[in-house]
Amino acid sequence: MVTIDFAKGDGIVPVIIQDYDTNDVLMLAYMNQEAWDKTLSTGKVHYYSRSRNRLWLKGETSGHTQDVKAVYIDCDTDTILIKIHQHGGAACHEGYRSCFFRERNGGDNWRVIGERVFDPETVYGKN
Amino acid sequence: MVTIDFAKGDGIVPVIIQDYDTNDVLMLAYMNQEAWDKTLSTGKVHYYSRSRNRLWLKGETSGHTQDVKAVYIDCDTDTILIKIHQHGGAACHEGYRSCFFRERNGGDNWRVIGERVFDPETVYGKN
């Protein structure tokens, strides 16, 4: 019997999102019990937004939803890993395929290694 | 200029650990500023243990250290992704290659899909 340990993180757990086809890590976000239940019942990934303090269907603004393909739980049952199909090709709100589009290049130097799939201004508007 | 946002998580950030060769996600743990600095200066992954409230060199008991191969930061600079080489072949303290060794199999059913590389009792002792 596996019970997700939401208590350890004050009601939320981190969720790693991985591309089902390429195994690229696309993003990390958080779920509460409601987001978890909604994700399982709909097959579309839902998160809990810590900054907006509410349930969040990924893609609700952009249309770039995430279809659940496989779900994993870690040894301590306090982190979830979900493999997904990303509609629109980009998980990052900045238009990159992955939120991890910058690689450390020694010292304080980072370089952009990701590819931009869409222009955020077009998808989200200018505000 | 990239500055890691330790403040958002009260001094710690989640760190996703991915196998450099296979792209399998191996574990998630946390770093504070000290763990981050130690990781970069030594090339061996160090974490901050929330339960033990101290710096933690991964592998300090088991010898199964993690060599840093590549480091990435996400769009919000509040999550780190590190690709590593895992000494001993297993990142999980339960002896599996990955901490995510259970896959959801519908409803409340989960099945073990990971392979066990070592016996935790042998590596960590029986207590």
Best of A16, A22, A111 to disrupt the B interface by mutation (most B CBs within 10 Å)?
A16
ipTM metric:
0.95
CB pair distance less than 8 Å for B81 and A94:
no
Over residues A77-100, the pLDDT tens digits come to: 999 999 999 999 999 999 999 999
- Whether B117 has its CB under 8 Å from any CB of chain A: the answer is no
Q: Give me B97's structure tokens.
A: 């290659």
The DSSP string of chain B is ------GGGTT-EEEEEEETTT--EEEEEEE-HHHHHHHHHHSB-EEEETTTTEEEETTTTTS--EEEEEEEE-TTS--EEEEEEETTS--STTSBSSS--EEE-STT-EEE-S-B-S-HHHHH---
| Amino acid B127: pLDDT | 42
Residues in chain A within 8 Å Cβ distance of B22: 23
Is there a contact between B15 and B22 (Cβ–Cβ < 8 Å)?
no
- Whether B112 has its CB under 8 Å from any CB of chain A: the answer is no
Mean of pLDDT values over B88-99:
96
Whether A126 shows a pLDDT value over 60: the answer reads no
Q: What are phi and psi of B105, to 5 degrees?
A: -125, 35
In angstroms, the separation between the Cα of residue B127 and the nearest Cα of chain A is 17
CB pair distance less than 8 Å for B75 and A93:
yes
Residue B127 neighbours by CB under 8 Å, 6+ apart? none
Q: pTM (2 decimals)?
A: 0.95
Q: Give me A1's structure tokens.
A: 């019997």
CB pair distance less than 8 Å for A75 and B81:
no
Whether A127 shows a pLDDT value over 70: the answer reads no
Cβ count near A80 (within 10 Å): 22
| Amino acid A91: pLDDT | 96
Residues in chain B within 8 Å Cβ distance of A96: 75
- Largest pairwise CA distance in chain A: 47
Residues in chain A within 8 Å Cβ distance of B9: none
Over residues B12-32, the pLDDT tens digits come to: 999 999 999 999 999 999 999
| Amino acid B126: pLDDT | 52
Q: Give me B33's structure tokens.
A: 């500023």
Residues in chain B within 8 Å Cβ distance of A71: 103-104
Over residues A5-55, the pLDDT tens digits come to: 999 999 999 999 999 999 999 999 999 999 999 999 999 999 999 989 999
Is there a contact between A28 and A10 (Cβ–Cβ < 8 Å)?
no
The rounded mean pLDDT for chain A is 94
Q: Considering CB atoms only, which of A18, A22, A99 is closest to B74? A: A99
